[in-house]
Amino acid sequence: MRVTPETVRDEHAWVRDRDQVVVPLINEIRDRLGTLFETEVDPVTREAYRREVDAVFAAGEVAVNVAGCVALLRDLDVADDYPGFVLDEVLGRELAATVAGGRPLSLLAEATFHFADVHVSEDETAPGDDTGTAGADDLDAALAAGFQTRLPGWAWREEESPFAVGSDGDA
């Protein structure tokens, strides 16, 4: 695999145009997590997703890593699928974490990836999926987990943290 600036541009366009699949997955994840954690989570619009994809790909060092993970998952297929289970899980988890950003969001995205992955099947990712590979469902779950983590909508992210230390040294 060779990743070039053109590869990154191509994967950016593919991820951006994947909004018709990823945004419903994001909102489904948010609904499920909101129910589990007894909280309301704002839904994500296709426009907000596309803007955030642009932001992720605007950072070159992040863009090349996201593009590489996306390209690998789009092409990843393993005979009988199960032997490749670990590989697509590792790539999906890393993609979700990279999209989400640094700690603690990257860790949340990794956990959310596994939560999303059990609810996403290859059949659900079929619209616009021209690969039919074993990594396709993990790719969609990873994009949904990463972007749902970094996008606004969670009350705890919108509020001032009680653990922030002020300029006067008080918590």
For the record, the structure tokens of 110 come out as 């990794």
The pLDDT assigned to 81 comes to 62
Under DSSP, is residue 92 helix (H, G, I), strand (E, B) or coil? helix
Name the pLDDT band for 103 (thresholds 50, 70, 90): very high
The pLDDT assigned to 127 comes to 47
Q: What is the C-alpha separation between 31 and 126, in angstroms, rounded?
A: 22
Name the pLDDT band for 157 (thresholds 50, 70, 90): confident
Name the pLDDT band for 111 (thresholds 50, 70, 90): very high
Specify burial of residue 3 (Cβ count, 10 A radius: 0-12, 13-18, 19+). middle
The pLDDT assigned to 2 comes to 92
The pLDDT assigned to 123 comes to 47
Give me the mean pLDDT over the 74-100 stretch. 85
Q: What is the C-alpha separation between 135 and 122, in angstroms, rounded?
A: 9
Give me the mean pLDDT over the 54-74 stretch. 96
Contact 23, 47 (CB under 8 A): no
**Poorest-confidence range of 16-25, 96-105, 111-120?**
111-120
Q: Is pLDDT above 70 for 124?
A: no
Q: Is pLDDT above 90 for 30?
A: yes
**Poorest-confidence range of 111-115, 123-127, 130-134, 144-148?**
123-127
Contact 132, 149 (CB under 8 A): no
The number of residues making up the chain comes to: 171
Q: What is the C-alpha separation between 60 and 68, in angstroms, rounded?
A: 12
